[in-house]
Amino acid sequence: MEKEQDDVSSIHNRFSLTLVNPGSHYFSLAASMGVGLVIVLATYFGYFNNLGIEEFWYRIPMVLGVLAIIQVLDTRFTKKKEYSKSLHSSLFGNMLWVVTILMGILSSVVLGKNIELFFITFGMILFASFRIGIYTTTLGLSLKKAWAIAFIQPLAMFFVLIPQESWYTILSEPLGIIYGFAFWIIATVWSRTTDRAGRPGMESTHKTIQAYLASQGNDFEDAEELMEQHATETKVGTSQIKFSSKDGSNEFRMVLPEIHPGPYHPVGGSNIPYLIYKNLESSAMVMHSISDHALNLPSRNEVNNYLKNLENSVVKEEGMTCTEPVIVQINKARVTGMLFGNNPLLMLSLSPHGMEDIPSYIKKEIEQYGKNRNFTKIMTIDCHNAMGEEISSEDGEDLLKATKSCLDSLITKDSFPIELGYANSNDMDVWTEDLAKGGLGITCLKINNKKYFLGWADANNMENGVREKIIKNFEDEGHNLLEICTSDTHYAAVKARNRNGYYQLGLITSADKLSKWFLEIAENAVSKISSAKYEILENETQVKVMGQSIYEDYSKALENSLRITKMFVIGGLGLFITSLFL
């Protein structure tokens, strides 16, 4: 699994590339108008300053008007007819043109030479070359179609920017033509090469990029289709501890799906914790089991298949007693355990230090150790309650030592009748950008006349130290809050324009505010405490999961494309610099 983790980390580390575009198409519209204005000013003050002011001013609205019209028309040529992408690509293309014009002026000043008109032609063809790249990679056009429309916007702007009597003079500048079409060839070769960068695992890198970008606008069908093509069928398990009052009127479940939330919102099983929660009538805590992105469900079809089959869970054991919690801390590693009959429930955390998903080798070793101690079913939770890097070997060893010590201690503990109360935030106003649709929940277990609280949040991890602040606030109120676990949902209430691509719980909402909410829910849970029995439920479902190879293919395509792009950028920049000395 280490290689798969490396591939996922590599892909995630490149997420910031998706933030290059402005967050709003209104910004791109305004910025492109500003750049268009600079193009007019730079062209006339730098290259045509012999013309009268009356020849100059009326071209500003003409250039900006043509630019705005072509930006709208451009949407007709794109696969998804997206105005925002048309604006973004227009902005960056015009920026290349204006940089070329300004660099031509600067080079003439620095080198003490005459201003060369070929920079206007060069910049225009460079703009068109950029359009080839952007249309083939992100907007879904074939290379031939991109060639056919690449010049529409640049030429339309050129003809209203330049006086008619100068059209032929500028367009026939040999250096402008030579340099411009050199970049045209570079853009064409770059497009071809990057599209094939992921072969043989990925047929078309560009189609994958287009599917991803479309999914960011909730058009997820193409992305799910591509992922489902790579998916493999396997059996996944789901464990539940179902608590119910003696009269059966109240039920609460702690769910440990073997599947992993993801791959990313809104594709596949990104919102699976909430969907499970909702299917269980909002009376559940859907925990993060020890699982990784190889166990992502690739499509809504597989999500529905999984949810439907979850109804076929089988009762493996039942009882009415459990032990008091046992907490073992070794260095950064902390394990909280309880024993239901002969079935340990273990919660693993490194908070406040944090980590990525607990690797599968830890789960295997825990299960083997438990088997050797004759436990029936070990249920292990990755609390996922602090941000961090991939777990180190030292921290992994500490987690294993703490877990084994916890299991050894649980064997010696007495069991007591279970009393339980559960409440959630459904009737509270707790909407925030760092919390998903399942909200917050608290379970209060009263064991041996002592109350123990367990918190849950439908969120993608927690800001470091937030758990500790909330637990301290509970202590100040005389409550014992054992842990706060997150579901690791990949649902995003809003699109986060940061490196992670999401807001972890506590990044937007303060720890004090979260504490206030949790304490209110805890009081509600206490008011519902009643005697309860438990049932251990098991389910096994045949589903398609994304597997490991898909991340290897994606990572390879991404890294190869970026390496190719760097080579072309360095070569293109060198070629551009030579033009400044002519």
Distance, in Å, from the CA atom of 397 to the CA atom of 377, rounded to the nearest integer, reads 22
* pLDDT at residue 458, rounded to an integer: 98
* pLDDT at residue 54, rounded to an integer: 66
Distance, in Å, from the CA atom of 383 to the CA atom of 505, rounded to the nearest integer, reads 13
Distance, in Å, from the CA atom of 23 to the CA atom of 29, rounded to the nearest integer, reads 12
* pLDDT at residue 290, rounded to an integer: 94
Q: How far is CA 13 from the centre of its chain?
A: 10
What ranges do the domains of the chain cover?
Answer: 22-215+552-579, 232-545
pTM, two decimal places: 0.90
* pLDDT at residue 554, rounded to an integer: 85
Amino acid sitting at position 300: R
Q: How far is CA 465 from the centre of its chain?
A: 23
Contacts of residue 304, Cβ cutoff 8 Å, sequence gap at least 6: none
For the chain, which residues score pLDDT lower than 50?
A: 1-5
Which H helix or E strand runs over 552? helix 549-579
pLDDT digits (tens, 9 = 90+) for 435-459: 999 999 999 999 999 999 999 999 9
Pull the structure tokens for residue 499.
């490196």
Residue whose pair of structure tokens reads 């719980």 in the numeric block: 505
Q: What is the DSSP string of 337-390?
A: EEEETTEEEEEEE-TTS--SSPPHHHHHHHHHHHHHTT-S--EEEE---S--SS
The size of the chain, in residues, is 582
CB 293 within 8 A of CB 260: yes
CB 208 within 8 A of CB 557: yes
* pLDDT at residue 246, rounded to an integer: 80
